[in-house]
Chains A and B, each alone.
Chain A
Amino acid sequence: MSRPNIQLGREGGLKHFLTIDGFSRSLLTDILDTAESFTGVSERTVKKVPLLRGKVICNLFFENSTRTRTTFEVAAKRLSADVLNLNISTSATAKGESLLDTLRNLEAMHVDMFVVRHTDSGAAHFIAQHADPHVSVINAGDGRHAHPTQAMLDMFTIRRHKGEFTGLRVAIVGDVLHSRVARSQILALNTLGTSEVRVIAPRTLLPAEVRTLGVHAFHDLEQGIRDVDVIIMLRLQKERMRGALLPSEHEYFQLYGLTEERLGGAKADAIVMHPGPINRGVEIDSQVADGPRSVILQQVSFGIAVRMAVMSMALGNQAQGAVR
């Protein structure tokens, strides 16, 4: 209760971005507003602003990623920062120590920000705790825990299409159990005042404590997406599946795959989102993924603006005068 949020600087501004947990509605709104200002940069002749000139941002990826790493890299470059990309396969044995050693070595290269992805929950938090005070850390996904920039780009996409969160009914469909994206989305949606957040999945793919997250759980897709404004499909995370949680991918599609027909149950202007990469014919039908209600590719574009906002806010708060 009394423990200060390490994500916030002395004046309450963003310093690290590790989880949505503990952030106020106004801070999340500031991030979305700042991201809005950055969207124009991508449409200009010179797709760059000089804001983070001279800063070094290190993408520290202990887990595979194409889209997230690339959008972080593009975001950093559009802010004129220098980018180091490091893909490090996790050594399971000497994790704690090797992580710190890696960190010290990179700090010696005067890195200003780490963007961290790791298979272990809490890895970004660990790095934030041990990094130099002038260094900011952004979580690009840790284990099953959190993926806050993905959640914020989803919030940005929803706000662009629907305006206010109050009055909205949002359904998150699929593998909530293994999804750090879903956890961050639920926190962000509730913090921003969404009227109803639903999760729809088979019992085996919902965490036991799901209702304590402030959601309504459904096990039937058709029932769950009735009258919703936004449908967020989750990827079936084959690489994280341990044990027989599902009979087969085919059967999963029969029960939980989003098809045109099923989409008919949602509101007429409902949008369909997916954090990617999509498994066509597993959680979503190609007709829907490529259809007029799909905003999946917009999510990718907005992801750049949202990451630019988070990076510049965090490094801006590290500025000499800002931290008083």
Chain B
Amino acid sequence: MSTNKIFLQADAIEQRIRDMSQTLKIRLEVQQIDSPAMIGIHTGGAWLAQRLHRQLAIPETLGTLDISFYRDDFTRIGMNPEVKPSHIPFDVDDRHIILVDDVLQTGRTIRAAMNEIFDYGRPASILLVTLVERSGRELPIQPGVVGLRPPLSLDQHITLNGPDPLSLVIGGSKRAARSESNQAQAQAGRDP
């Protein structure tokens, strides 16, 4: 029952990501962070993180996180069949972490990601970077760097498709008001 339409094409998204790199670079300089480590959240956040990581020439290997084991809705919707291993190839202790995701809506994914990061160690700080910040927050979570803030109603949902080329798609469905992780389930083909 959803009508999907392209909201932003690859060229425009890549330009936004380059702008985000610049903003992030300044931000890191201001905060005097000279050796940050970056973690991208599967799957869309990892695509975005790969680009930012390359553009900022961060020497530390990029980490990836799959928050399936940390979701707060496991007892309601069960195991994500598409779960990927998390891979944090550096010591998290006392590290300044740049956490990257594609869309920030409810904030539940970020809460889960932070819980997982803390099971690897105690970071010095976590800075959240998202391509899209939209309405619908259910937790007090604030991004540090944002690519765009589209005015969306609660019954619309926005999804990053990729990895190459990237596109942002907007669709309307009655499931849209649910959390991002539910949407991930829907994309994984679980919902009828």
- Chain A residues within CB distance 8 Å of chain B: 13, 30, 33-34, 36-41, 44-46, 48-52, 54, 312-313, 316-322, 324
**Contacting residue for A322 out of B77, B85, B86, B87, CB 8 A:** B77
Contact B83 A319 (CB under 8 A): no
Residue B119, interface by CB 8 Å: yes
Give the size of the chain B interface in residues (CB under 8 angstroms): 25
Contact A34 B86 (CB under 8 A): no
10 A-B pairs with the lowest CB-CB distances in the bound complex, closest first: A316-B79, A322-B78, A316-B78, A46-B119, A49-B69, A319-B78, A321-B77, A37-B85, A321-B76, A37-B83
Name the residue on A nearest B71 (C-beta): A51
User: Of B68, B78, B92, B121, which is within 8 A of A317 by CB?
Assistant: B78
User: Looking across the interface, which residue of chain A has its beta carbon closest to that of B83?
Assistant: A37
Contacts of A50 in B (CB 8 A): 69-70, 115
* B32 at the A interface (CB under 8 A): no
List chain B residues, Cβ under 8 A from A41.
69
Contact of A37 with B84 in the complex, beta carbons under 8 Å: yes
Q: Do residues A49 and B70 form an inter-chain contact, with CB atoms below 8 A?
A: yes
With A and B bound together, what is the CA distance between A50 and B74 in angstroms? 10
Interface centre among A30, A51, A324 (most CB of B within 10 A): A51
> A51's contact among B69, B77, B81, B118, by CB below 8 Å, is which?
B69
Chain B window 52-84, contacts with chain A (Cβ cutoff 8 Å), 1 for yes, 0 for no: 000000000000001011100111111101011
- Is B121's CB under 8 angstroms from A45's CB? yes
Q: Which residue of chain A is the closest to B72 with respect to CB atoms?
A: A50
B residues less than 8 Å from A36 (CB atoms): 85
Please report the C-alpha to C-alpha distance between residue A134 and residue B157 in the assembled complex, in whole angstroms.
Answer: 33
Interface centre among B74, B85, B92 (most CB of A within 10 A): B74
B192 within 8 A of A: yes
CA–CA, A313 and B68, complex, Å: 12
- Picked from B74, B78, B79, B119, the residue with its CB within 8 Å of the CB of A44 is B119
CA distance A174 to B191 in the complex (A): 47
Residues A37 and B76 in contact, CB atoms below 8 Å apart: no
For residue B80, give the distance in angstroms from its CB to the closest CB of chain A.
8
